[in-house]
Amino acid sequence: MRNRLKLTARTILVLIVMVSTTLLMPFSAQAAEEAEELTLDASGSAAALEGVSFAVDGFARNNKGTARAYAGEDIGYRYPLAGRGAFVVVALEDELLIYLPEETNASFGLDFSQDTAAQTQLLTLLFALDEANSNGGITLEQLDLPAVFTHSDTVAHRGCLIRFGVEVEPGYYYVTVTAEADALPAPDTARQASFVETGLLVPADTLTIQTAPEGLDALTDFLTNMDYRPFWVSLRTSLTAMIFVFVLGLAAARFSLKVSEHVKDVLDAVFTIPMVLPPTVIGFLLLVVFGNSTDFGRWLIDHGIELVFSWPAAVIAATVVAFPLLYRTARGAFEAQDANMLDAARTLGWGEGRIFFKLMLPLAWPSIAAGTVLAFARAMGEFGATLFVAGNYAGVTQTMPIAIYFQWMGGRSDVATFWVFVVILISFVVILFINLYARHTQKFRLGTTARKERSTGEEQEEEDVERESLERSVRDTGEERSGP
Amino acid sequence: MFHAKKEGRFSAGRFVALLLSVVLVASTGLGLAACGGSTPAPTSGTASSGSGSSGAATEPAAAVELQIFAANSLERALPEVQALYTAENPNVSFADSQFKGSGDLVTELEGGAPADILITASSATMDTAVENGNIDEATRSNMFQNDLIIVKQAGSSVTISSLSDVNGSAISKVAIGDADAVPAGSYANQSLFTIGLYSAESGKGGEYLEGFADKVVIQSSVGNVAKTVATGDAQIGFVYTSDLYRYDDIEQAFVVPADTHKNIVYPGAVVASSAHASEADRFLEFCLTNPDALRIWAQYGFEVAAS
């Protein structure tokens, strides 16, 4: 059996690696395509062309600017620049205005407004960087506008003055758009450019470009940058919840045996209902009980019990939804126990507590263990009620299921996929564990003698013997009764 | 049967031991993680060059954790600005900021969720929070402006050249935010009202035109709208320009004319019950004035409001 177990573990591992490499394939393929001549930095802010003396660093695409005054002074609509001597690409309605300061021209010994070869090289770099930074916005390539190169600091365009390299505050440079002699209202100056891009021209040999990692490196990169807190939150929440579930579930199961049939039916419905109700209903009720919106909730808050949107709320939510699973399996196992045997124990002078702990619990154990594991898995998978009362606070109440939802919604499908596989893996292991455990107990069911040899400890032995004789006597009486 | 169950107690012991060891390992791990997380920040009272007009950083800085409730569309940009602020003010850290539909945030605030700062995507939602008495109105200011656009899945052949194309025969599903909770949804409805596809001018509480109503997919946040379009479950959706820059797989199809809906402004304010009101106010000021923060907003397509 151990061999088979090892095999399963290896299969799972292989499966994970396979799935994750498939998932990350698109990234590496994309990177390989662009790696021919042009190298693009992983951050999308730097790029270089093979055999070209200049490269671009600190590239940024400003999709919007601001008309906000600086220190009370209106300086027009402005876009931040990459720094001193930065180049600027202004996507105007009818042209692509590209500004390179004279000092940059001089330092590379190039004249971008004349040298068409340098212009083409720069545009190649810009188009690639723009593509990497456009994120679904209109790209320079799609705009398909004639490029106009300039090195003058002020350019007039359709009633506007575009000023480059304006140092608004020490060390921070902007391109500003103002109306020429108040010819245009402010909103129109803002709409002159659809976006403005900026960056620094640097000598190619001083720039080190870190291309996006590929294949296994990408996977390692992804896994090292991963925020694993949802796993710990899930584990912490469900383990804490399990302590409550275990104690309350067993107590409820034991208690339900004592009461009369009719009370038991009602009680059972109450204990089981969280399993049937949608988690949102549970969440709603918990919010009503503990929230700020009801008198009772406010009374609790006034007395220092502030539970909503905190970790204890997540524990409560998990406890409530997981409780019925343990309760029902435990009750089922208790009910299946032979009442004669319990009576026999009583005739031997055993107290109720001793009967429960030394007889009922050990006998029902396989069922309870399975119920515990199932309840744990349910607590781990809790989503609706938790989201309702505990919210989505990373590192506090953000469990794996909640992380999946919010990461997906936030556009980080890769992270969501990771957690999906983790949850599937955990669930798989849980079910596998239950099956193996059941098989394990089954085996002893068939070979009790083998086990007896291994049992150690005098007290243990003594109790075993005692319980065994109890069982035997019950069985004998049973046989006597059923006899002719 | 009884023979079998006798084994129970031994397994029970082993099971409990296993469970306990797992708990122990987990709590140790968590303990370490917690220690790493809550290292008291060194309180160097250096006033950063960038704090601009926030000034007053002279008092000894005590460790402060700010909780921000912000419109869903700020989900990518705001954490970057927060990181910038923490780098310059090591005594200030941020709890996990909540990015949801503005309406939901206002409801949660009213429901007693603790927060220091609220940034919504419409004046109306902020007004509600003010009416609820959850906001320190003196600190309220307009922070950002945004544009409403129609997006399509990247590479989609759908073309939208005017607003009325939204109800064209090529379109079978249109994703729109739930107007009650998502300001982008009510802006979209206001625009749809101008072409007769929605019945209420305010963008709320109305009905979609029969025939068009079947095409509408209501979503609980503007992010979900974008996501629905990105996966192709809806051909087009109404989102903000800034949403383009936080989602892959969506493309701008059409800019909704600004005169068809109310001005899209993001008001920000300090929450009335905040225990760190002055720090919260300082952060809001930082967002609007720090030149490095301005860069982040510009890249994510948020236009910092003129005043």
Please give the Cα distance from A56 to A87 (Å, whole number).
Answer: 10
Contact check, Cβ <8 Å, B7/A444: yes
pLDDT of res. A247 = 92
Find out whether A390 and A397 touch, Cβ atoms under 8 Å: yes
Q: What is the pLDDT of residues A66-115, one digit of tens each?
A: 888 888 888 888 899 988 888 899 988 888 899 988 888 888 888 887 88
CB spacing of A136 vs B154 below 8 angstroms: yes
What pLDDT is attached to residue B73? 86
> From the candidates A66, A326, A360, A405, which should be mutated to test the interface with B, based on the most B CB atoms within 10 A?
A66
Considering the entire predicted model, what is its pTM?
Answer: 0.73
Q: Which CATH architecture has domain A229-446?
A: Orthogonal Bundle (1.10)
ipTM: 0.72
Residue in chain B closest to A449 (alpha carbons) equals B3
Low-confidence ranges of chain B (pLDDT < 50): 1-11, 19, 22-58
Q: Does A232 sit within 8 Å of B33, measured CB to CB?
A: yes
CA distances for A142 relative to A91, A119, A130, angstroms = 11, 19, 11
Query: Cβ separation of B99 and A410 shorter than 8 Å?
Result: yes
A-chain CB neighbours of B27 within 8 Å are 236
Select from B244, B294, B298 the Cβ nearest to the Cβ of A136: B244
Query: What is the SS3 string spanning A204-225?
Result: HHHCCCCCCCCHHHHHHHHHHC
User: In terms of CA atoms, which chain B residue is nearest residue A80?
Assistant: B295
Residue A149's DSSP bridge partners are A98
Give me the pLDDT at residue B128, please: 92
**pLDDT of amino acid B120:** 93
CA separation for the pair A435, A111 (Å, rounded): 76
What is residue A192's predicted lDDT score, i.e. its pLDDT?
77
What is the pLDDT at residue B56? Answer: 44
The strand pair at A77-80 and A172-179 is best described as antiparallel
From A118's Cα to the closest Cα of chain B, the distance in A is: 27
A172: nearest Cα among B301, B180, B187, B290: B290
CB contact under 8 A, B113 and A309: yes
Domain locations along chain B: 62-145+264-304, 148-260
DSSP string, A133-166: HHTTS--HHHH---EEEE--SEEEETTEEEEEEE
Judge: A65–B291 Cβ closer than 8 Å, yes or no: no
User: Which of B22, B111, B247 comes nearest A291 by C-beta?
Assistant: B111
* Cα–Cα distance, B270 to B118 (Å, whole number): 6
**Contact A325/A253 with Cβ under 8 angstroms?**
no
Summary count for chain A: helices (H), strands (E): 19, 11
Query: Distance (Å, rounded) from C-alpha B247 to C-alpha B243?
Result: 6
For residue A73, which of A168, A166, A156, A164 has the smallest C-alpha distance? A168
B62-145+264-304 classified as CATH 3.40.190.10: yes
Looking at beta carbons, which residues of chain A come within 8 Å of B15? 365, 369, 372
- In this chain, the answer to whether the domains covering B62-145+264-304 and B148-260 adopt an identical fold is yes
pLDDT computed for residue B92 by the predictor? 92
* A390/chain B closest Cα distance in angstroms: 10
* Phi, psi angles (nearest 5°) of residue A98: -115, 120
Q: What is the pLDDT of residue A474?
A: 59
Return the ∠ at Cα B68 (arms to B189 and B248), rounded to 5°: 55
Q: Indicate the domain borders of chain A.
A: 38-210, 229-446
SS3 A239: helix
pLDDT score, position B296:
92
Quick: pLDDT tens for A12-70.
Answer: 555 565 555 555 544 444 444 444 488 888 888 888 888 888 888 889 998 888 888 88
pLDDT at A185: 63
Neighbour count for residue A482 (Cβ, 10 Å): 7
Topology (CATH level 3) of domain B148-260:
D-Maltodextrin-Binding Protein; domain 2 (3.40.190)
| Intervals of chain A under pLDDT 70 | 1-36, 182-190, 442-484
A69, B306: Cβ pair inside 8 Å?
Answer: yes
User: Are B93 and B116 a contacting pair, CB within 8 Å?
Assistant: no
Report CB contact under 8 Å: B2, A79: no
